[in-house]
Structure 1
């Protein structure tokens, strides 16, 4: 069945525990002790533990450093912020549209948290810009997506894929939209992340890069969530696990990588010490393979690319996951609050 149905707000005749991730039956009452998917509650706890807000990050040092950046560094910094703001705005909306068709209350709850985290990411970009540049410049940055061709091409690639599902909701289009989601959250951010991490390892704009690290960590969890949804849909609806879907996914990752490389050339090129365009291209192709493999399609996007991260230095920034840790100060910043309800024994 290609049809995909929206979740009912309440169904008194259905069980609390859902009968399927899509097109299932559920009362829509969430009982975390009785959910269909064993991975849902651990994912919920992980997403809550990663809670953060931009104002936690002190921008004082970045404010002092900003005028000392080169003109090229400032221009690239602002262009990438403009890109990230657009992508996370799109993502908040897509998460809500996709959640409407998920007939499992626990997974729907995770989608709501995901959308909230995307809103926080957008807040962080406004917070960074308001700390560094004038209001008129902030407004200009949020308009970049309209005029930069490389930026527009890659963004249209994803938004058009999302629109196909929004305009014609079906199981095949839902699955294809998840492929686009994994590209947005697991590939299209990554040349921008590399730029900020390169600044950080040169002791520049560390506060901004700390927030980028938090966003990076959130996006990795979001990718994993959508991968799990994708695989559950196929496991429960095997008639949609087709060679055509596999071909679509592989070809879409290839095209996405080409667009990301084109964007990387336009915004980074060979302008910055520490970032080689050759390495960046391999890095993007490497991640295209990683994401393709996560969805179950092996390393077919770029089979010739080695299975090791070509930008080894970046792992120190991508893999920081020790609570909320600044990668220079290495200070754990967990946000578990003590109250009469939990007490110290629950920490």
Structure 2
């Protein structure tokens, strides 16, 4: 029986400090990082905190000058993809906080708090980059896409349904399914958009925006790593939910998400020079396989085990820890410029 669970109490001194369960367990609410149920999660917390950055520390001056000279197709894709990213990261802030409210392991509460804060920074960064290149009216139009664009609405429908289902029915099964969609969001749904900005950068266009995206990408890789581990640990603690039905549900929703992401990439990148849509499709399937393996499941696309777009690796820290930051090889200016680019006028 998959019964409802209550939100974790803030402080329960009669319970042990080390949690007896991630969700639905018992803990005092007192966090001693040297005495937690999953000790290696302290390293994850440290990595997340070490990624701290702020949007207005990235110089957008060159992007401001370059944006009008992009092709019409590039400008349209730029605005649509920023609209997509903001549609995903805004709700993700709230979902991370909501998951933390039900977590009875205080280490998970702390990690999810950091993730929520980083998602809030990501969402601010989209406002920041748009304020650097377009008018307020155009900014607002881009942020309306998540509510109005039919392809984007179709693409996000299952994600929205599952997140809202968790809000309405707080069960461990819905937590597991929400973690699946969080994993998809962090590890798959962003990547056609990331590829667009990296493609601009490898053609020496909009390097400030791509620098920003590389930091967001690095954060999302760490988020995806933790969410995958959280899924596995929660499933291990609740073996009655480790059923054929749940595993089938995961595979079906991964396949559905891949199909929708491919459809979206063709819609938003189809006319953009330098993006090979066949490669993009292979990359999306490669990312799906990788996320499934991280969650302890099997590949579903046996022909897409290798990354067909290896040039992307030069633009962001790798989830396995191999740092190959392309931008360190260039004379990028990493300075605070919020008082110069009009962001404070929003």
Report the equivalent of 1:72.
73
Distance in 2, matches of 1:42 and 1:312, equals 28
Report the equivalent of 2:152.
151
CA gap of 1:58–1:94, structure 2 versus 1, over 3 A, is: same
Deviation per residue, 1:179-222 (Å, 9 max, x gap): 11111111110100000000000000001001101001101111
Report the equivalent of 2:337.
none
Contact 2:315–2:327 (8 Å) recurs in 1: no
Distance in 1, matches of 2:316 and 2:307, equals 11
Contact 1:10–1:28 (8 Å) recurs in 2: yes
Secondary structure of the 1:37 match is coil
Distance in 1, matches of 2:169 and 2:287, equals 29
The 5-angstrom pairing of residues 22-41 of structure 1 reads: 22-41=23-42
Q: Does 1:163 align with 2:161?
A: no
Contact 1:324–1:331 (8 Å) recurs in 2: no
CA gap of 1:245–1:332, structure 2 versus 1, over 3 A, is: farther
Contact 1:292–1:299 (8 Å) recurs in 2: yes
Q: Give 1:318 shift.
A: 3.6
Deviation per residue, 1:38-81 (Å, 9 max, x gap): 12210111011100001110001111111111111111000000
**More displaced stretch, 316-325 vs 199-208:** 316-325
Contact 2:195–2:312 (8 Å) recurs in 1: yes
Contact 1:50–1:324 (8 Å) recurs in 2: no
The 5-angstrom pairing of residues 106-255 of structure 1 reads: 106-255=107-256
Deviation per residue, 1:137-163 (Å, 9 max, x gap): 111111112221111111122011111
Secondary structure of the 1:31 match is coil
> Among residues 297, 311, 314, which one is paired with 1:313 in the alignment?
311
CA gap of 1:325–1:264, structure 2 versus 1, over 3 A, is: closer
Flag structure 1 segments of 5+ consecutive residues without an equivalent: 334-347
Distance in 2, matches of 1:177 and 1:310, equals 29
After TM superposition, what 4+ stretches of structure 1 lie above 3 angstroms from structure 2?
Answer: 318-325, 330-333
Q: Give 1:324 shift.
A: 7.8
More relative contact order in 1 or in 2 (CA 8 Å, sep 6+)? 2
TM-score (norm 2): 0.91
Contact 2:317–2:324 (8 Å) recurs in 1: no
Report the equivalent of 1:345.
none
Report the equivalent of 1:2.
2
Contact 1:290–1:299 (8 Å) recurs in 2: yes
Distance in 1, matches of 2:14 and 2:2, equals 24
Q: Give 1:102 shift.
A: 0.9
Secondary structure of the 1:100 match is helix
Distance in 2, matches of 1:290 and 1:330, equals 33
Distance in 2, matches of 1:228 and 1:242, equals 18
Distance in 1, matches of 2:211 and 2:328, equals 7
Distance in 1, matches of 2:29 and 2:331, equals 42
Report the equivalent of 1:292.
292
Secondary structure of the 2:127 match is helix
Contact 2:62–2:208 (8 Å) recurs in 1: yes
Distance in 2, matches of 1:171 and 1:34, equals 24
Q: Give 1:323 shift.
A: 9.8
